């Protein structure tokens, strides 16, 4: 257990709630990585109908056939090889895909190349299962991407897996097609697996989503992680999936899922089937995405008005990494200390970049899922605070 980390974003919320209770002050929350909307109405109706239709019993471990087929068709649009239902394992959210794949693949001291700053569970699970994390820096000047040359230098005879995430949490970066192709060639050259976290695949504001499985030879050595949480605002449903053309890996994912949870919540599966297949879902998704883009543009403008704080416009997801190195150096504090002061003195909650790894120490992370009113209010409070101390 000493090797198992956590998702510190949840710990920050706990601290914030304690501060609110003790101070009587309501914070403006600009840190959370949860959609700012509710699940579409047709999806909620499908959930209720599933209960009324007595879809309240066990399902096959890898999911109901109709949902597996729908997910296979969904990902076939981005892959060089059409997926089939047997390539899909439905699981309880995105995290089980990380646990199951790394568990099936990594022996003690095997190396996993992980982008950094990154979603912290990649590193936590790798270390818990005895692997060694090899961080590769996502550089701001490269749109929060690494280069193919940098990736080559990280590979040793112990490397087994590369983890990629596009669009990215926490940076909002998107891996361009040329770089994705280079990563694919490197993976094939060194006989490596890829875990491709595509949970934000529909949230590309500039450019297009490119899956690494679109390149020849990659569907057989890649597990796609995706799910209903972000695109369809279904975080509480806890429904995700792993997709791979490698039959042995698919069988391992299913076997681990059977040992872990037996199967996914039945009603959630029928709700996800509605979300993925119904044309009634599309307008709700398009509306959410258009709103996120407007809120992104607003936040970028307001962040860049704050002294000592700069940011580029993120291409995807709903996160923004702001460089605060000037502020940190002037005040002689860390990013974590700055965020704590912003919480206590400006009454706004954001996250230090160090929550996402060692290369996040120059940054703080915002999320632009909140309302325009809250974004304006929160950033005005931060600006007033920074101007008073900077």
Residue-wise over 202-224: b if at least 16 C-beta within 10 A, else e?
Answer: bbbbeeebbbbbbbeebbebbbb
d(CA 243, CA 236): 21
User: Tens digits of per-residue pLDDT, 221-266?
Assistant: 999 999 999 999 999 999 999 999 999 999 999 999 999 999 999 9
The pLDDT value recorded for residue 139 is 97
Decide if pLDDT at 6 tops 90.
Answer: no
d(CA 199, CA 169): 10
Map residue 321 onto helix, strand or coil.
strand
Q: Does domain 8-39+282-389 have CATH number 3.90.1150.10?
A: yes
Question: Does the pTM of the predicted model rise above 0.85?
Answer: yes
d(CA 204, CA 202): 6
Nearest residue to 309 via CA among 376, 385, 374: 385
pLDDT-derived band at 13 (thresholds 50, 70, 90) equals: confident
Element (H, E) at 363: strand 363-367
Mean pLDDT of 176-190: 98
Mean pLDDT of 37-66: 98
DSSP labels for 195-243? EEE-TTTT-BSSS----GGGSTT-GGGEEEEEESTTTTT-GGG--EEEE
Mean pLDDT of 149-170: 98
Which residues are within 8 A (CB) of 373 and not within 5 positions of it... i.e. 6 or more apart? Answer: none
* The 88-91 sheet, strands edge to edge: 88-91, 240-243, 222-227, 193-197, 159-165, 111-116, 132-137
Q: Is 58 left (phi over 0), alpha (psi -120 to 50) or beta?
A: beta
The pLDDT value recorded for residue 43 is 98
The pLDDT value recorded for residue 348 is 97
Intervals of CATH 3.40.640.10 along the chain: 43-277
d(CA 188, CA 193): 9
Alpha carbon 54 to chain centroid distance? 33
- The arrangement of secondary structure in 43-277, i.e. its CATH architecture, is 3-Layer(aba) Sandwich (3.40)
User: Tens digits of per-residue pLDDT, 303-338?
Assistant: 999 999 999 999 999 999 999 999 999 999 999 999
pLDDT-derived band at 33 (thresholds 50, 70, 90) equals: confident
The pLDDT value recorded for residue 299 is 98
Using the 8-state DSSP alphabet, how is residue 34 labeled?
S
Intervals of CATH 3.90.1150.10 along the chain: 8-39+282-389
Query: Do 206 and 172 form a contact (C-beta atoms < 8 A)?
Result: no
pLDDT-derived band at 166 (thresholds 50, 70, 90) equals: very high
* CB atoms inside a 10 Å sphere around CB 287: 12
Strand-pair partners of 352? 364
Decide if pLDDT at 88 tops 90.
Answer: yes
């Amino acid at each position: 257990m000493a090797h198992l980390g956590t998702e510190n974003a949840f710990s920050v919320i706990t601290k914030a709630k304690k501060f609110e209770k003790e101070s009587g002050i309501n914070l403006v929350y600009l840190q959370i990585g949860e959609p700012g909307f509710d699940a579409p109405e047709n999806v909620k109706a499908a959930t209720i109908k599933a209960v009324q239709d007595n879809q309240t019993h066990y399902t096959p471990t890898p999911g109901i056939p109709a949902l597996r087929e729908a997910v296979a068709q969904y990902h076939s649009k981005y892959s060089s090889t059409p997926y089939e239902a047997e390539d899909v394992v439905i699981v309880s959210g995105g995290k089980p895909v990380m646990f199951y794949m790394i568990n099936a693949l990594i022996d003690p001291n095997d190396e996993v190349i992980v982008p950094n700053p990154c979603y912290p569970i990649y590193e936590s699970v790798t270390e818990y299962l005895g692997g060694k994390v090899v961080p590769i820096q996502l550089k701001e000047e490269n749109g929060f991407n690494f280069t193919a040359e940098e990736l080559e230098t990280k590979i040793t005879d112990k490397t087994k897996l590369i983890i990629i995430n596009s669009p990215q949490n926490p940076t909002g970066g998107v891996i361009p097609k040329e770089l994705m192709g280079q990563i694919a060639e490197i993976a094939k050259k060194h006989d490596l697996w890829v875990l491709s976290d595509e949970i934000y695949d529909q949230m590309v504001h500039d450019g297009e989503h490119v899956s690494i499985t679109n390149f020849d030879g990659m569907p057989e050595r890649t597990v796609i992680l995706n799910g209903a949480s972000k695109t369809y605002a279904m975080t509480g449903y806890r429904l995700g999936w792993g997709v791979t053309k490698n039959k042995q890996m698919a069988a391992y994912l299913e076997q681990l899922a059977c040992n872990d949870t037996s199967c996914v919540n039945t009603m959630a599966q029928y709700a996800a089937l509605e979300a993925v297949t119904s044309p009634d879902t599309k307008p709700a998704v398009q509306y959410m995405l258009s709103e996120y883009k407007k809120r992104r543009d607003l936040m970028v403008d307001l962040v860049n008005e704050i002294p000592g704080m700069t940011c580029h416009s993120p291409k995807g997801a709903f996160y923004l990494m702001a460089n605060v190195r000037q502020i940190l150096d002037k005040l002689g504090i860390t990013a974590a200390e700055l965020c704590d002061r912003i919480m206590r003195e400006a009454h706004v909650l954001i996250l230090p970049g160090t929550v996402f790894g060692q290369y996040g120490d120059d940054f703080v992370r915002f999320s632009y899922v909140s309302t325009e009113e809250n974004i304006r209010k929160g950033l005005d409070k931060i600006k007033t605070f920074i101007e008073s101390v900077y």
